[in-house]
Chains A and B, each alone.
Chain A
Amino acid sequence: DVKVTQSSRYLVKRTGEKVFLECVQDMDHENMFWYRQDPGLGLRLIYFSYDVKMKEKGDIPEGYSVSREKKERFSLILESASTNQTSMYLCASSVQGVRTEKLFFGSGTQLSVL
């Protein structure tokens, strides 16, 4: 089975800290995605990547950046964490584009920014 692993289930950070959320997939998938999930708002796409060193902004990229130096790893970076970035963060991957393929999700990271 495909495995998408997020490095932390829970994180607590201080306002202004630089935060790294790591995601690794083990099935050589081309595409990787970062979503955040908030009550009443559903899942919103932050950034996605179709190839190594390639990234594209999603619907809410402000305050975030990403890094994809290796195919299996996609990192989400909060340059200066703020309380409104408290959320559940979900990483996902897919073999090819979503026009033909489903997404495989990690278990999520619940981030609290105090």
Chain B
Amino acid sequence: SQQGEEDPQALSIQEGENATMNCSYKTSINNLQWYRQNSGRGLVHLILIRSNEREKHSGRLRVTLDTSKKSSSLLITASRAADTASYFCATVHLQGAQKLVFGQGTRLTINP
């Protein structure tokens, strides 16, 4: 399976702390994307990082990509209660059809 794997499956931290989620994948990718999902809702795109990029920032989000280790991390700095959600990484692989393959997600809870 090409499916990515997020780690940890669940994370609970205090408001103001930083949250780090990791994603690993198995085959070479074109790009990797992170999405957020509030409970019972659709997914919202957060950030896209291409295979030739190592780091991207967007507001309080920082994404890194290590293609040699086939892994990525999403860092949320200065977390807020509103960041409580599930976070998914999704990969577009070099071989095969152009489709996003999602991991199972990390459930992040920010405690006030």
| Chain A residues in the interface with B (C-beta under 8 A) | 4, 33, 35, 40-45, 48, 56, 58, 88, 90, 92, 97-100, 102-108, 110
Q: Nearest-CB distance from A60 to chain B (Å)?
A: 12
Partner of B104 from the list A41, A102, A108 (CB cut-off 8 Å) is A41
| Chain B residues in the interface with A (C-beta under 8 A) | 3, 30-31, 33, 35, 40-45, 48, 88, 90, 92, 97-105
Tell me if B's interface is mostly helix, strand, loop or mixed.
strand
Alpha-carbon distance A16/B101, docked complex (angstroms): 30
Q: Which residues from chain A contact B100 at a C-beta distance below 8 Å?
A: 33, 45, 98, 103
Q: Nearest-CB distance from A52 to chain B (Å)?
A: 18
Q: Nearest-CB distance from B104 to chain A (Å)?
A: 4
Q: Nearest-CB distance from A46 to chain B (Å)?
A: 11
Contacts known (A41-B104, A42-B3); A48 close to B99, Cβ less than 8 A: yes
Q: Do B104 and A40 touch (CB < 8 A)?
A: yes
Alpha-carbon distance A104/B61, docked complex (angstroms): 19
Alpha-carbon distance A33/B44, docked complex (angstroms): 15
Q: Do B105 and A42 touch (CB < 8 A)?
A: yes
28 A–B contacts, CB within 8 A, in A order: A4-B42, A33-B99, A33-B100, A35-B102, A40-B104, A42-B3, A42-B104, A43-B88, A43-B102, A44-B102, A45-B99, A45-B101, A48-B99, A56-B97, A90-B43, A92-B43, A98-B31, A98-B92, A98-B98, A98-B99, A99-B31, A100-B31, A103-B33, A103-B45, A103-B100, A105-B44, A107-B41, A107-B42
